[in-house]
């Protein structure tokens, strides 16, 4: 957003003046990450998770590209090549643990980023395009993570691929043909492993492209904030540099501290021990589970146990599982309240926390065996999940009595009747024009 008070980039060094004329990259950086980008002064730590997602994506790409230098996508040697990375390649154990746990860290960050959006109504106009691109990114992320998990060619890799690609066979008429086409055979094998590796390498770069669009779309209206009230005056904002660069830097430090704790001290805590057994098509594990970040959706898939007239249970499960994410595309239209932030919506707030508990229950059931009481609990929780989006949200957004909003961001920060001087740039800081 170019607020009228945004600082303009004025290069002083002759080389920077030349570059600004020919290829204005420094201007782009100044206007999107620098002093030229005013940001609401009240955004809290939940607004750090977008940057953290970029950090995760970077870690995944860097470690992944180096892992690929040692990995062999062939069913005869894939498992052994991963073992060799762990034992023979210098620092290979670190690369692999950093990548595997990096995926988990990425999903923790993304789930917080998404639920921040749910709570603060970040999907509402004028940011609906930011949200829609976010949902596309999430779908790409899930596909990438699924295909990555197949690559070590352990028991869970193999049987996970078997179950998930098998879902497509539930589609009437074309299902079986589609299933075979996806795998390049009747069961996961060399063809499937090769194409999954190829796509697992490609998709992160597609995600990078989608993230560029996501941030571009965000920079048109600018960031929202915990009050949901629009920026009105200069005193409602502070420049991104140095204030939010410093705050994001702190968050990145805290994140890396926790992430390194996971990688160095609990590297296998989130993985499944069966994936240290080489893939064996002749031995089905007693309990096939995907990685933890898929559990809520896996629980929805398994909640359908009975055919409904001529519609098979499996087909309903597949449709419900995909709908559980696709419904997010409609958030800007399902929630019609003009008030964005959950801080001023007492009824919405209760249902928001009920949804958080519901998703946690679904996650717990998805990671548990497909037996009672988990199946029944999944059925109730899955029903509530869809009730939340299709019934509760539209009704609450039309009937609820909201709390009074502050008249401005400045008032929310400093209290009623106070006024604030615009926060400009500090007198001196590295990189600032003298």
Site string for ligand HEM, 130-149 (x = CB under 6 A): xx--xx-xx-----------
Shortest distance, position 307 Cβ to ligand HEM, whole Å: 33
Closest approach of ligand HEM to the CB of residue 46, in Å: 7
Least distance between ligand HEM and beta carbon 225 (Å): 7
SS3 letters across the chain: CCCCCCCCCCCCCHHHHHHHHHCCHHHHHHHHHCCCCEEECCCCHHHHHHHHHHHHHHHHHHHHHHHHCCCCCCCCCHHHHHHHHHHCCCCHHHHHHHHHHHHHHHHHHHHHHHHHHHHHCCCCCCCHHHHHHHHHHHHHHHHHHHHHHHCCCEHHHHHHHHHHHHHHHHCCCCHHHHHHHHHCCCCCCHHHHHHHHHHHHHHHHHHHHHHHHHHHHHHCCCCCCCCCCCCCCHHHEEEHHHHHHHHHHHHHHHHHHHHHHHHHHCCCCCCCHHHHCECCCCCCCCCCCCCHHHHHHHHHHHCCCCCECCECHHHHHHHHHHHHHHHHHHHHHHCCCCCCCHHHCHHHHHHHHHHHHHHHHHHHHHCCCCCCCHHHHHHHHHHHHHHHHHHHHHHHHHHCCCCCCCCCHHHHHHCCCCCCCCCCCCCCCCCCCC
Among 9, 37, 97, 123, binds ligand HEM (CB under 6 A): 123
Indicate whether 218 belongs to the interface with ligand HEM (CB under 6 A): yes
Is residue 171 within 8 Å of 315, Cβ to Cβ?
yes
CB 211 within 8 A of CB 116: no
CA-to-CA separations, 247 to 56, 93, 243, in angstroms, rounded: 17, 32, 6
Contact call for residues 146 and 220 (beta carbons, < 8 A): no
113 binds ligand HEM, rule: CB under 6 A: yes
Question: Hey, which residues between 29 and 68 contact ligand HEM (CB under 6 A)?
Answer: 47, 49-51, 53-54, 57
List 59, 103, 114, 321, residue binding ligand HEM (CB under 6 A) = 114
The residue from 81, 144, 157, 223 that contacts ligand HEM (CB under 6 A) is 223
Window contacting ligand HEM (CB under 6 A); options: 127-135, 193-201, 289-297, 306-314:
127-135
Residue (42 or 223) nearer to ligand HEM, CB: 223
Q: State yes or no: residue 167 binds ligand HEM (CB under 6 A).
A: no
Instruction: Select which of 75, 248, 335, 358 is catalytic.
Output: 248
User: Judged by CB, which is closer to ligand HEM: 82, or 135?
Assistant: 135
Residue 120 near ligand HEM by CB under 6 A? yes
Q: Yes or no: say if 34 and 241 are a contact pair by the CB < 8 Å rule.
A: yes
To ligand HEM, the closest distance from the beta carbon of 3 in angstroms equals: 15
**Number of residues forming the site for ligand HEM (CB under 6 A):** 29
Q: Is 124 in the site for ligand HEM (CB under 6 A)?
A: no
219 is catalytic: yes
Kindly state the smallest distance separating residue 430's Cβ from ligand HEM, in Å. Answer: 22
Catalytic residue, chosen from 122, 157, 223, 224, is 223
Query: Which of 138/304 has CB closer to ligand HEM?
Result: 138
Minimum CB distance to ligand HEM smaller for 32 or for 190: 32
Query: Is position 247 annotated as part of the catalytic site?
Result: yes
Provide, rounded to whole angstroms, the least separation between the CB of residue 42 and ligand HEM. Answer: 12
Q: Which is nearer to ligand HEM, 1 or 89 (CB)?
A: 1
Active site annotation includes 234: no
Q: Give the active site residue among 32, 84, 180, 219.
A: 219
214 lines the binding site for ligand HEM (CB under 6 A): yes
Half-sphere exposure of 329 toward its Cβ, with a 13 Å CA cutoff? 9
Residue 54 or 163: the one with the smaller Cβ distance to ligand HEM is: 54
Minimal distance, residue 321 CB to ligand HEM, in Å: 17
Q: On the CB side of 138, how many CA atoms lie within 13 Å of its CA? A: 25
Q: Is 241 in the site for ligand HEM (CB under 6 A)?
A: no
Min dist. Cβ of residue 17 to ligand HEM (A): 30
Active site residues: 219, 223, 247-248, 291
Binding site for ligand HEM (CB under 6 A): 47, 49-51, 53-54, 57, 110, 113-114, 117, 120, 122-123, 127, 130-131, 134-135, 137-138, 207, 211, 214-215, 218, 223-224, 328
């Amino acid at each position: 957003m170019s607020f009228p008070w945004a600082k303009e980039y004025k290069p002083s060094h002759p080389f920077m003046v030349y570059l600004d004329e020919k290829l204005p990259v420094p201007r782009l950086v100044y206007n999107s990450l620098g002093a030229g980008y005013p940001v609401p002064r009240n955004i809290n730590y939940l607004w750090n998770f977008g940057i953290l997602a970029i950090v995760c994506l970077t870690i995944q790409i860097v470690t992944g590209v180096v892992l690929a230098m040692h990995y062999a996508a062939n069913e005869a040697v894939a498992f052994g090549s991963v073992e060799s990375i762990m034992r023979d390649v210098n620092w290979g154990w670190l690369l692999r643990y950093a990548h595997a746990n990096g995926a988990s860290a990425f999903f923790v960050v993304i789930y917080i980023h998404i639920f921040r959006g749910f709570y603060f109504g970040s999907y509402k106009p004028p940011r609906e395009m930011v949200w829609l691109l976010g949902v596309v990114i999430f779908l790409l992320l899930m596909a990438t993570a699924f295909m990555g998990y197949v690559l070590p060619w352990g028991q869970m890799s193999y049987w996970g691929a078997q179950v998930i690609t098998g879902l497509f066979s539930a589609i009437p008429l074309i299902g079986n043909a589609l299933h075979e086409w996806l795998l390049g055979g009747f069961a996961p094998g060399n063809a499937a492993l090769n194409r999954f590796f190829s796509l697992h390498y490609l998709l992160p770069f597609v995600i990078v492209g989608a993230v560029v669009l996501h941030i571009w779309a965000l920079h048109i209206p600018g960031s929202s904030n915990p009050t949901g009230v629009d920026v009105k005056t200069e005193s409602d904002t502070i420049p991104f540099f140095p204030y939010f660069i410093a705050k994001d830097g702190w968050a990145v430090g805290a994140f890396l501290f926790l992430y390194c704790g996971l990688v160095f001290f609990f590297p296998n805590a989130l993985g499944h021990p069966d994936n240290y057994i080489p893939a064996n098509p002749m031995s089905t594990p007693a309990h096939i589970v995907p990685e933890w970040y898929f559990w809520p959706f896996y629980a929805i898939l398994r909640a359908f146990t009975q055919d409904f007239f001529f519609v098979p249970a499996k087909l309903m499960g597949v449709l419900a599982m995909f709908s559980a994410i696709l419904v997010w595309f409609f958030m800007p239209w399902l929630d019609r309240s003009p008030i964005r932030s959950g801080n001023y919506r007492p009824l919405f707030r209760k249902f928001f926390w009920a949804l958080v508990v519901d998703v946690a229950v679904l996650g717990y059931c998805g990671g548990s065996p497909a037996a009672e009481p988990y199946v029944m609990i999944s059925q109730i929780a899955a029903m509530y999940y869809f009730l939340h989006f299709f019934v509760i949200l539209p009704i609450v957004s039309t009937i609820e009595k909201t709390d009074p909003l502050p008249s401005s961001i400045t008032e929310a920060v400093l209290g009623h009747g106070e006024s604030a001087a615009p926060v400009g740039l500090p007198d001196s800081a590295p990189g600032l024009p003298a």
